[in-house]
Chains A and B, each alone.
Chain A
């Protein structure tokens, strides 16, 4: 995160104090926990209203207003807060940095969200493959308990708040909020039907539950500190605040970059991420995590990066994971690798997803190996259509959750931009890129 021209909010402390940004001492020396303290003196309505006004969009990828999500919380108490740190979508590694490098920022956000929603028990679900971030978070929680910021009577009040880290077991699907709740209840991580199982009404243990992403929660202290208007002004139009982009693939400087929306893809890929490796040409990129339909330079390079622009172009900004591919990349292989991920991570509840993703992976693999048939691309689209009828964007679903339709994105992208390359695999009986 080395950008100098844009203001840093979430990543500022870790940039200015790399050696100890994760410690309570540094956090407090740089103004930490002042906003949680202030929140103790505010009403729930004031807090929810401030977050609504800030326009904070959830950073988990679905693009929903965090304040609205809070206001749906049903009245029966107790209620729970669950922080989603199950970050597992290929290309995404921003939450790992927030967890590892500034855990107190998230914990302060948890306190604010809990007070705003009258929550006394919060869980942080961290993916099992993140033991180091989990250890850093646990150390920070221990520090916060010792300082009287968590536990009984936080900040000298009579408010009680307990926070527990729960490690996942290696299943991407648990990033889906109802699957995460099942997992936290000690069940298989299978998504629940919505309705009726909207977490705000019937969540953890069938009680009202808020599920917010790590980055979403980490924004809360800053929104209180600078106020809703100043926070909005950091962003671009409807996309308020800053946004963490995870850039990976064939660029010179992969990494997480905190940026405002509204810059162009050209600026992100060529200026901020340093441009293409080894002087090669840009061929395509995945704009918002493995489940997003792909973009190509001829059509999208000078497009501003906003939620709406991405949506209108038939894709999404999702969780901000940008995967860049150069002209040496076999698009069939890239698609196969993405589809393989979803096939592997399908929970198996819904037949179109369980069978369809595996079938698509097998078809793509045989095309890549040079054993494809002329009808295979149409077959891929047919299978896709059974998972996501009409192949529209945003996708329609024949499944409980969006995992299956996510596997359709690489296939429709191939058909739209790289049909000739697929056909060359079939007619030449091998990968034309060698």
Chain B
């Protein structure tokens, strides 16, 4: 109904990858978030039509998973890992710095709708602890001061896309391992940047 022709084409390609259409629920929920910024009731109804489920079944799936946001979570979702390995290396101070600088506590979005803050469980960056993600793009080895700089930078610059390598260079420190080459692909909103889901932005290389 409301999806753009590009999103509809992507949804069709995704459906072809699965033997049963119900399996496309999660990928289509990501498409829906790309369309609306978060999961709206209309968006979930659309996913239900594609997958042959009822809207309530779709919502039941969406509400199970932490990354499917049922309300607006800002242009930039700042997720601070506070699980054990990050906690041991000072994650609670990073979280406090992010909350203070953003002016909102865990689970909330600032008044301008720019920055949302959450603490999350392990994001697989334990060797580069403490770690933070912005729209799921990773920064390892961040200090509380760098975390403040990050929040200020996001608010002032409001970049169109978030690139892990870029953030790591500006605000990061020790990494879990060498990431090798610099990549230009990045996130266009508070959902994982992945080509087939249409959620990835690439730099104009011309």
Chain B interface residue count, CB cutoff 8 Å, equals 60
Q: Please indicate the chain A residues that have their CB under 8 angstroms from the CB of B126 in the complex.
A: 90-93, 246, 248-249, 254, 321, 323
Residue B17 at the A interface, CB < 8 A? Answer: yes
A170 touches B61 (CB 8 A): no
Which B-chain residue is minimally distant from A325 (CB atoms)?
B88
The stretch from A62-70, A184-192, A309-317 touching chain B is A184-192
Contacts of A130 in B (CB 8 A): 124, 192
Main SS class of interface, A: mixed
Report if A365 contacts B (CB, 8 A).
no
Contact B183 A101 (CB under 8 A): no
| Set of chain A residues within 8 Å of B125, measured between Cβ atoms | 93, 96
Instruction: Please determine whether B194 and A167 come into contact, CB atoms closer than 8 angstroms.
Output: yes
Pick out which of these stretches binds chain A: B79-87, B105-113, B153-161.
B79-87
Say whether B84 contacts A334, CB under 8 Å. Answer: yes
Contact among B18, B26, B128, B185 with A167 in the assembled complex (CB-CB below 8 Å): B26
Q: Does B133 contact A (CB under 8 A)?
A: yes
B32 to chain A, nearest CB (A): 13
Known pairs A135-B195, A186-B61; A255 contacts B136 (CB<8 A): no
Interface residues in B92-146 by Cβ distance below 8 A to A read 120-129, 133, 136-138
Which stretch in A34-42, A337-345, A380-388, A393-401 binds the other chain? A337-345
Taking the nearest CB of chain A, how far is it from the CB of B121, in angstroms? 5
Q: Find the B residue at minimum CB distance from A163.
A: B17
Binds B, one of A14-22, A46-54, A296-304: A14-22
Q: Is the CB of A345 within 8 A of B121?
A: yes
Do residues B67 and A131 form an inter-chain contact, with CB atoms below 8 A? no
**Minimal beta-carbon separation of B84 from chain A (angstroms):** 5
In Å, the complex CA distance between A256 and B126 comes to: 10
CB distance from A92 to the nearest CB of B (A): 7
Task: Pick the most buried of A96, A101, A162: most chain B CB atoms within 10 A of its CB.
Answer: A96
Q: Report if A355 contacts B (CB, 8 A).
A: no
Bound complex: CA A332 to CA B181 (Å): 41
B1-29 contacts to A, CB under 8 A, are 17-20, 22-27, 29
A94 to B189, CA, bound (A): 27
Chain A residues with CB under 8 A of B169: none
Q: A90 vs B127: C-alpha distance in the bound complex, in angstroms?
A: 11
CB distance from B139 to the nearest CB of A (A): 12
* A184 to B22 alpha-carbon distance, docked (Å): 9
The CA-CA distance from A180 to B197 in the complex, in Å, is 20
CB <8 Å contact, B124 and A87: yes
Q: Which of B51, B68, B127, B137 sits near A132, CB closer than 8 Å?
A: B137
Query: Which residues from 173 to 189 on chain A have a C-beta closer than 8 Å to any C-beta of chain B?
Result: 183-189
Q: How far is the CB of A333 from chain B (nearest CB, A)?
A: 8
Q: Report the Cα distance A254→B175, complex, angstroms.
A: 9
Residue A415 at the B interface, CB < 8 A?
A: no
Instruction: Report yes or no: B84 in contact with A290, Cβ–Cβ below 8 A.
Output: yes
Tell me the smallest distance from the CB of A411 to a CB of chain B, in Å: 14
A183 to B197, CA, bound (A): 17
State how many angstroms separate the Cβ of B204 from the closest Cβ of chain A. 18
- Bitwise, A132-170 to B at CB < 8 A (1) or not (0) is 101100100000000000000000000000101111111
List the A side residues contacting B64 at CB < 8 Å: 169, 171, 188-189, 347
Give 16 CB contacts A-B under 8 Å.
Answer: A89-B122, A93-B125, A95-B124, A129-B124, A129-B136, A129-B192, A130-B192, A131-B136, A131-B137, A131-B192, A167-B192, A168-B67, A186-B25, A249-B84, A337-B84, A347-B64
A-B pairs, 8 with minimum CB distance: A169-B65, A186-B25, A248-B126, A170-B66, A170-B67, A131-B192, A186-B22, A248-B85
